[in-house]
Structure 1
Amino acid sequence: MRTIILWIGNLVTFVTAFGLMARYVPPQTFWPPAIVALLLPGLLLVTLFFFLSCLSRFNWRAALFPLVVLLFSIPLLGHLLAFPSSSPLMDDTDPTLTLVTANVRAFRSVDGTDADTFQVREVVDQFGADLLLMQEVRTLRYRLNYISLILDSGGFRERHQKEGTVIATYGNDITPVTASFTPPNEYNGYVVTDVATKLGPLRIINAHLESNQISRMTSGMSDDNSVTKRVETFSEMLRGYGRATRTRARQAEAIRKIVEDSPHPVILAGDFNDVPSSYTYNHILSPRLRDAWSERGTGLGTTFTGPLPGLRIDYFMVDTSLNVLEIERLPSRWSDHRPLRITLAR
């Protein structure tokens, strides 16, 4: 039995080490570690138990491998599991800015029912945001697009939304800078907006990075399908995830260049479709930005509630010149993503 436990423990530790590579290896070079990176919190926990088991049996040689892997994971732990630090001391008269990022999935419930105008008005009002960053919103081609309703409910005068795309930034005194989307559907990408705020001019990057499309394929894995069909679906999922991971890496490189060249403090937020142990996250996390949840959040900070629950894929990345006073997850009424609300100061 001890031999079996030893083999299983070493196997899990090896898989954990493989997943830890995802932070450093560009997906264009080798993308499979990105799949394992999705499971790293659980894998690290099992590796820790294996290490402690080896210590309890005084098996120092067996404990060496999991110890090395655990030590290698230390720089990542603060991003996987947040423990809030104390907030900076602020005067009550100091100006603050509140932002919300929300993937709203077109304000449509899982049964296909559109949200009524009262529900949308109520949610936008509850956000209490000075700036609202939304993904998967409706375009003007929809008769019921909620655009005027969001403007009115949030007290916004303007929005930046490239025609035909599903990313929109709402606020006041905004100046569109640029937008980039993955052809041909212009569904995934980012919009860049300069905003005059109480904290001075800010450059806002609202991102909805390349989707994995795994949720749409999970139906092919049901017990109602043949083994052959399930194997084909699983292979398709892997290929699709590899393509999406490579695209997100390219998007991350372009966003990092925008951050580095910005003349104003930067706030990057939205649905990254990737976890803190990914190459995308770590490439975006430049010396100029830090992850607001890692700094002020508590726990795992799960934002995705879909077929692969337990993932943190929605973020606020904040310029080092700004102070993060508070960040919280908000309830989700329609989407499989939980919105995030953040309060900032200078």
Structure 2
Amino acid sequence: MIRRFTKRFFIVLNCIVCVLFLLSCLVPYLTPATWWPIGFLGLMVPYLVILLVFFMLFWLITKPRLGILPFITLLVGFRQLSTLFAINAKSTFTNVKIEPRIRIADWNVGSLVGLSKGRDKQKAIRKQIASALINTHADVICLQEFNHSYTQGSQADNIGLLIKEYPHYFFSEDYQKGKGFFLYGSIIFSRYPIIHSGKIQYPGKRAESLIYADIVKGEDTIRLFTTHLQSFRFSASDYQDIERIQQQDKELFDASKNLFKKMKVAFTRRGLQANIVRETLDDSPYPSVICGDFNDVPNSYTYFQIRGAWQDAFLDKDFGIGRTYIALAPTLRIDYILPDPGFEIHQFDMVDEDLSDHLMLVADVSLKK
């Protein structure tokens, strides 16, 4: 009796996991403005895959014919799986640059204050971040959550930290903080001349933007895009709520309600921003690369919409899940370098400098001849 009940329980649980995974496969095709609740399933995909693999192995040992269900479910979701895991032989990133390759570094620098809460340590972080970027020997650097002040002296002159090595730049200056003295946004630095640059402002209060810079190297002109898409904007108290939820605090419902509200707004806005990005990429007159913090996972509408038929440097050259955001969960790959099909990707690396809650991405690319 107990054995029969256990078997039925596992069958039902297996079916539930299969249904949830199949629903998650619809996430890239459903507009978040209308279907925002399904966005939560996109965040669950790695865990659903682990459960499906477990069930497949479990049934193969105990009841082989039942293993067909999770196996077929995984086959149906092959496209989602192909964006979740990179399967390449891991190779050592070579610091020596080979012409005519262009090295691109992308990093969300978290306002250049690092992970420490001490003000003295935070002041030193900005120079460490600049040194880490220069040490990559990148030709182009794209940064998100960058800040700068034109009026508060050398301690706030963050552009000045890199301008000697990268004399050409374009800063989005999306919004102000610190009584208006500090400007925040995304920035592109380049060793090579920038002949044209611009930004497309996203709609909404305190919204950021998509920026681009047309960079000339030799006879080639390449357009580099970078952006920081809508985040969940979790505050310190929100992270405390997450811990309380994990510990099943008595105030679980109120904490969850507040978090879900913020996540709904983020899913919806990111979907709209992704549409704007895709339209802008399609209109680019030059070979292009977009990189940045999309604040969304590879199984999302955001990722599929922006990437389209473009390449993903991580999937092309790395191995594993590729976590880029070190807080919350071990499965959050939300930062990307995506070259268009006209580029060849030579090497890729993810660098953890312990100076931000995001990892730095570095890739060498060149135009196909």
**How high is the TM-score relative to the length of structure 1?**
0.89
State the partner residue of 2:3: none
Alignment counterpart, residue 147 of structure 1, candidates 159, 173, 180: 159
* More displaced 10-residue stretch of structure 1: 3-12 or 298-307: 3-12
1:260 aligned to 267, 282, 285, which one? Answer: 282
**2:199 alignment counterpart:** 178
Offset of 1:68 from its aligned partner?
A: 3.2
Q: Deviations over 1:11-63 (max 9, x none)?
A: 22222222222122111121222112112122112112213333434463x44
Q: Does structure 2 conserve the Cα–Cα contact (< 8 Å) formed by 1:38 and 1:275?
A: yes
Alignment match of 1:320 (pick from 338, 341, 354): 341
Q: TM-score, normalised by structure 2?
A: 0.84
Q: Quick one: which amino acid aligns to residue 139 of structure 2? A: D
What corresponds to 1:156 in structure 2?
166
**Structure 2 counterpart of 1:206:** 226
Deviations 1:197-254 (A, max 9, x none): 2471111110101101246412124449995633112112112112111111111111
| Alignment partners' CA distance in 2, 1:215 and 1:197 | 42
2:180 aligned partner: none
Q: 1:128 aligns with which of 129, 132, 137?
A: 137
Counterparts of 1:330 and 1:336, CA distance in 2 = 12
Contact 1:193–1:205 (Cα < 8 Å) also in 2: yes
Shifted more, 170-179 versus 243-252: the winner is 170-179
Cα offset, 1:64, TM superposition: 4.6
1:193 aligns with 2:213: yes
CA distance, structure 2, for counterparts of residue 240 and residue 183 of structure 1: 15
> Conserved in 1, the CA contact under 8 Å of 2:148 and 2:158?
no
Question: For the aligned residues, what is the CA RMSD?
Answer: 2.5
Q: Does 1:167 align with 2:186?
A: yes
Match of 1:81 in 2: 85
**C-alpha deviation, 1:308, in angstroms:** 2.6
**Aligned 1:92-111 pairs, distance under 5 A:** 94-110=99-115, 111=117
> Residue 298 of structure 1 corresponds to which residue in structure 2?
319
Following superposition, the deviation at residue 75 of structure 1 comes to 1.4
When the two structures are aligned, how many residues end up with a matched partner? 337
Alpha-carbon offset, residue 161 of structure 1: 0.7
Q: Is the 8 A contact 1:204 1:266 kept in 2?
A: yes
Distance 1:23 1:123, change over 3 A: same
Superposition pairs for residues 271-282 of structure 1, below 5 Å?
271-282=293-304
Q: Where does structure 1 lack aligned partners over 5 or more consecutive residues?
A: none
* 1:137 equivalent in structure 2: 146
Change (3 A) 1:297 1:141: same
Contact map agreement 1:16 1:40 (CA 8 A) in 2: yes
Conserved 8 A contact 1:214-1:241: no
Change (3 A) 1:284 1:93: closer
- AA of the residue aligned to 1:293: F
Paired AA for residue 25 in structure 2: L
1:70 aligns with 2:74: yes
Gaps of 5+ in 2: 1-5, 92-96, 174-182
Q: 33, 40, 55: which one pairs with 1:35?
A: 40
Matches within 5 A, 1:218-229: 218-223=239-244, 227=249, 229=251
SS at match of 2:252: helix
